Amino acid sequence: MSKSPFLQSVRTEIRTKQYSYRTEKTYLYWVRQFILFNDKKHPEVMGNHEIERFLNHLAVNRGVSPATQNQALCAIIFLYKNVLKREIENLQYKMSKTPRRMPTVLNAEEVASILGNMEAEYWLITALLYGCGLRISEALSLRIKDIDLKSRNLLVFNGKGRKDRYTLLPGNLRENIERQIAHSRAIHESDLAEGFGLTSVPASLHKKYGPVMKDFGWQYLFPSSTRCVHPIAGYVCRHHLHHSTYARQLRQAVQASGITKRVTAHTFRHAFATELLRSGSDIRTVQEILGHSDIRTTEIYTHIIGDRRAGTVSPFDRLPGS
């Protein structure tokens, strides 16, 4: 079914709207599952009844999470709205509410213990997650041009919600970053010597800039160990480290540290936000650094530290001698 003309038309529409490659894979997966579940009937002859049956099947028989249910629904709505040009109305199914849970937070000693069990680029990735409040996708997709060691700024390009933002860069990471840049440069120069050197970028950028993508500034700070074929544009390039590679290293480091909390790459972002608020940083500033669209997302960290005022100090406590 992966080569069916219909699925190709779905793929084309996704790429026309410049969705990420990860979203493309996810949407195609759920469209394919929807068609298979309904005995390979064409979506054109299906409607609310078949959609509701499929979504209920996911919830009842497959026991998927609310977030996964919503993901499948988004893919199907995209299919009908953008490919079949039909609006799905009066669907007897609503977006599932994902339970709001307090995120797991590590203290400084636990972060230090995990870092003590990591080496090389994996140590630096973790340090950037905790020191800059990055998402793992943002850390792995950092390019050389995004790093300003002099002003200690880090550009997060095209982050979640396709938004750019700047975040602070810890000064004591300078030497580690410089070593990683040198490592990336050595790999890039080897690629150039072998007739390659293009980095992976969205197909539209490659089409627009072409050979410029060989410039060192466009290379990833954490390049993959091997070259690959671009999944859309088809050229040979070098991508960044895969998130599963980092996840494996992190899991080993957490086990070696003896920490029993559930720790993922995102846990360090939670710890970053909590420490900023605990030390008195303004919640609006933290919201901007994290790239949250809604301040209510940032406010969850004030609950973690047990103070909705997020470290605000009374003027009385600032009086001389108080």
- Distance, in Å, from the CA atom of 116 to the CA atom of 176, rounded to the nearest integer, reads 15
- List the one residue out of 8, 285, 37 whose CA is nearest residue 165: 285
Q: Is 242 a catalytic residue?
A: no
Neighbour tally for 86: CB within 10 Å: 13
Q: Is 269 a catalytic residue?
A: yes
Q: Is 179 a catalytic residue?
A: no
- Catalytic residue, from 160, 165, 185, 227: name it: 160
- Catalytic residue, from 11, 135, 188, 230: name it: 135
- Distance, in Å, from the CA atom of 230 to the CA atom of 212, rounded to the nearest integer, reads 16
**Under 8 Å between Cβ of 268 and 130:** yes
Which residues lie closer than 8 Å to 181 by C-beta, 6 or more apart? 144, 147, 221
- List the one residue out of 176, 123, 127 whose CA is nearest residue 149: 176
- Catalytic residue, from 230, 238, 269, 270: name it: 269
* Residue 24 CB-half CA count within 13 A: 19
**Bridge partners (DSSP) listed for residue 155:** 166
Q: Is 292 a catalytic residue?
A: yes
- List the one residue out of 153, 162, 128, 98 whose CA is nearest residue 240: 128
Tokens of 197: 């050197």
Tokens of 241: 């480290």
* SS3 assignment for 98-118: CCCCCCCCCCHHHHHHHHCCC
- Distance, in Å, from the CA atom of 272 to the CA atom of 307, rounded to the nearest integer, reads 16
**Under 8 Å between Cβ of 258 and 99:** no
**Under 8 Å between Cβ of 144 and 218:** yes
- Distance, in Å, from the CA atom of 228 to the CA atom of 218, rounded to the nearest integer, reads 17
- List the one residue out of 249, 243, 251 whose CA is nearest residue 224: 243
Return the active site residues: 135, 160, 266, 269, 292, 301
